[in-house]
Amino acid sequence: MSRRSLLLVVFTALLAIAGTVPANAQKPPAFQVKDGVTQPVFSAAAAIRESVWVETGTDLDRDGKPDRVAADIVRPSEPAARGQRVPVIMDASPYYQTLGRGNESELKTYDSAGKAVKYPLFYDNYFVPRGYAVVLVDVAGTSRSRGCLDAGGPGDVRSAKSVIDWLNGRAAGYSAVTGGSKVTADWTTGATGMIGKSWDGTVANGVAATGVDGLRTIVPIAAISSWYDYYRSDGVSFTSGTIADLTDSQESQWGHAHCAAVQQELKAGSPANGDFTPMWAGHDFVPDASEVKASVFVVHGQADHNVKTINYGQWWNALPPTTPRKIWLSQTGHVDPFDFRRQAWVDTLHRWFDRWLLDVRNGVEDEPQASIERGPDQWADGKAFPADGVRDTKFFPASGSTAGVGVLGSAQAPAGTRESFTDDGRSAAESWIAKPGDPSSSRVLFSSTALPADKQVSGTGSVTVTATPSTPTAHLSAMLVDFGPATIRSAQGEGVRNLSTESCWGENRPGDDACYQDTEATKANVTGQIVARGWADLANYASLSTPRQLTPGQPYTMTFRLSTVDHVFPAGHRIGLVIGGTDASTIAAPAKLPKVTVDLDRSSVTLPTR
C-alpha cells in the first residue's frame, strides 16, 4: 500500500472511531500532504461550480413557504470523478451584493446561466486546489436568498446552520429558489469550517453556539458575540446607528418588500435608552457558548472601534475549557489578517484547516495559543490568553496637587475625597488624554508613578465609580491609558494602507484571480494611547434591563466593564485612568447634561495584571 493510500485509510478510520463521519460520506477524502500541509494537486480552472438553495425551516418573510438560502459552491472536479469526498470552508455573509468582501470590496458575479464566476476573497483560489470545497452562503433576506435578515436572530444563524445540515444529509436542498429539483451533497465529507470577518464571523459564532454536528472549526475575525454589545454598553447607546437600519441597508429587494414585521420587531426591541431587552437576549451567543463543539481561532484588532473588543473577550471566556483554540490580536482596527500579516496568516490558516477538517497532524494546536502585536509588525507569542499568571489587581484614584488631576495607586483615598467634572456632551476621549498634566472641566484623570518594570494587562477589567449627578440623567466613560512614548499603528486606514504592488495566493481562473493589493502598516509616534474603554448609563447602576430614576445630589455606585485587552505597559510608563461623561466619539449624550462628582474613596479600577 502506498504512503498516500495508507494516510487515507488511517484518516477514515480515525473519523469512524470519533463517530463524526456522516452517513453519506463513507469514502475517504481526497488530499495529498507534504511537510504537514495539503498540496495544490487539483485544478481551480476545472472546478465544479454550482448553486443550491437550502430550506432553513423558518418563514420570516411570511410568504407561506419555508425560507431558502442560496449557497454558491466551488469544488475540485477530480475527487468527484473518483468518488472521493472533500471538506468544506464556508463564509456566510449578507454583503455579497452590497459592501462586498475584503480590502477590495469584492462582490459575487454570475454568468448568463446563473453560475457564480467570482467568489470573493482568496479562499477558493487557494483551498480548492488543495482538496477543499468553498461554499459562500447568502444570509437570509440578502442577494439570492429568501427570508429576512435579523442580525443574529434565527434568520442569520439558520442560514448557515441549515447549509451545514444539508452538507450532512439532514436538510433539503433544491436547484432553484422556488420549486426546482432536490439536490444532495454526496460529494462532501460533511466536515465544515466557518470563517468570516465582522458580520460573517458573527454568523460563525452563532452557528457554533448551536452545537451543530459537522461544524469542526470556526475562524471569527473581528466578530460580534452579542449584538447588544455592538450597539450598547452597560445601558448607554452607541452613536453608530441602529440594528434595524443596518439590516434594512443590506436586504435584497425581496427582503425589503417582505420583512416589515421583522424590522418592527428589531426596532421595538432596541430602545434608544440602552436597556437590555428580550430581543437583545435573543441576539446574544455568549450564554450558549458552552454548546460549542468546534475548535475556535479568534482574530481581532485591539483598536477596533466598530466591533468592540469586549465581543471577543466574553466569547473566549465562555467557551468550554476543553475547546481547542488560538487567538491573534493586532494593533489594527476593523481589519482582516490577510491585510496586516498576510504570509503568516495564509500559512497558519492553511495548517488550521488541514488539522481540523482533514485531521492532518501538523502540530498547529500545540503551538503558542496567543500571538499579539506589540508594535507595528512586531509580534510576540504567548502560551495562553489571558496570559498565564494574571490576577485581578485593584487600583485606586486619589487627588493630587492639581484639581481633577490625581494619582492612581494601591492606596484607597481618604473618606470624603471628591473630584468633579461637567459633561459638555461634545468632548471626545482622545482630547481627554492630550494634556494629561492639565486640568479639564470635562474629565478627571489619575495616573500611576513611573513603572519600575513592565506590567501586562491581559483580559477584561472593570471600573467602579461612585458618582453624584446634578441632573436626573448621567452617562459615564472610562479610559485605561498608557502614558509614555511609543510607536503604534495609527488610526489612518485603521492601521493599514494599500500599496501599488500585488501578491497572488492560489490559482487564477477566468473571472476570478487570486491577486490582491499588498499593504503596509501606518504608524504614529505617541506619548499616550488609550488601551481599553468602557461606557455606562448611571441610571442602570442596579439593572441593565430596568433603569432607575436618578435623584440629583444623591450618590450612586456602578461597576461597568472595560474592553478586553492584552497590553504591556513598559517600564518607565504610567498607567492612567480617565473618567468623564459623554465620550462624543462613541456614545450618545444624556437628556440633561450633569455635573458629576466622583467619590474617590469608593471608586476603583480592577485590572487582570501580571
Active site residues: 198, 304, 334
DSSP 226: B
Cell of 601: 474613596
* Residue 423, H or E segment: none
Q: What are phi and psi of 12, to 5 degrees?
A: -65, -40
User: Is 443 strand, coil or helix?
Assistant: strand
Q: E strands, 387-474, where?
A: 391-402, 405-409, 418-422, 443-447, 455-459, 462-469
Residue 448, C-beta contacts closer than 8 angstroms, at least 6 positions apart: 395, 407, 408, 409, 574, 575, 576
83: left (phi over 0), alpha (psi -120 to 50) or beta: left
Q: Cell numbers for 362, please give them.
A: 501538523
Written as one letter, the residue type at 115 is K
How many residues make up the chain in this entry?
Answer: 610
Among 40, 99, 74, which residue's Cα sits nearest to residue 512? Answer: 74
Question: What amino acid occupies position 589?
Answer: A
Q: Which of 375, 368, 376, 319 is nearest to 348 (CA)?
A: 368
Give CA–CA dist 450/464, Å, rounded.
24
DSSP strand E in 128-262: where?
Answer: 133-138, 173-174, 182-183, 188-197, 215-221, 232-233, 236-237
Cell of 37: 500541509
Cα(248)–Cα(188) distance, rounded to whole angstroms?
35
559 backbone dihedrals φ, ψ, rounded to 5°: -105, 125
Do 192 and 88 touch, CB atoms closer than 8 A?
A: yes
Cell 507534504 -> residue: 34
List Cα–Cα distances, 347 to 75, 124, 286, in angstroms. Answer: 21, 15, 30
State how far the Cα of 305 lies from the Cα of 239, in Å rounded to an integer.
12
Sign (positive or negative) of CA dihedral 62, 249, 490, 475: negative
CB 586 within 8 A of CB 535: yes
Whether the CB-CB separation of 133 and 53 falls below 8 Å is answered with no
Helix or strand (DSSP H, E) at 10: helix 3-18
